[in-house]
Amino acid sequence: MNVTIFGSGYVGLVTGACLAEVGNQVLCVDIDERRVERLRDGDVPIFEPDLPELVRSGLEAGRLMFSTDLAGGVGHGDVLFVAVGTPSGPDGDADLRAVRSVAGTVGDALERDAVVVIKSTAPVGTVDLVRRIVADRLAVRAATVEFDVVANPEFLREGVAVADFMRPDRIVVGSDNPRSIERLRELYAPFNRSHDRMIVMGVRSAEFTKYAANVMLATRISLMNELANLGERLGVDIEEVRIGVGSDPRIGYAYLYPGCGYGGSCLPKDVRALLGTARRVGFDAELLRAVDAVNERQRRTLFDKVVDHFGDDLTGKVFAVWGLAFKPETDDMREAPSQAMLDALWGAGATVRAFDPQAMGEAARVFGPRPDLALCQSRDEALVGADALLVLTEWREFRSPDFDAIKGALRHPVVFDGRNLYDPRRLARAGFAHYGIGRGTEPVS
Contact (Cβ atoms closer than 8 angstroms) between residue 68 and residue 31? yes
Beta-bridged to residue 177, according to DSSP, are none
Between the CA atoms of 166, 170, 173 and 179, what dihedral angle is there, to the nearest 10 degrees?
Answer: 70
Give which of 420, 88, 417, 100 is closest to 275, Cα–Cα: 88
Residues 6+ apart with CB under 8 A from 335: 263, 264, 265, 268, 269, 326
Please give the DSSP secondary-structure letter assigned to residue 41.
Answer: T
Per DSSP (E only), the strands in 32-112 are 64-67, 79-82
Known catalytic residue: 260?
no
The Cα-based distances of 443 to 234, 357, 428, 440 in angstroms read 7, 36, 16, 8
> Side by side, which strands form the sheet with 198-201?
64-67, 25-29, 2-6, 79-82, 114-118, 147-151, 171-174, 198-201
Question: Catalytic residue among 18, 260, 266, 376, which?
Answer: 266
Catalytic residues: 266
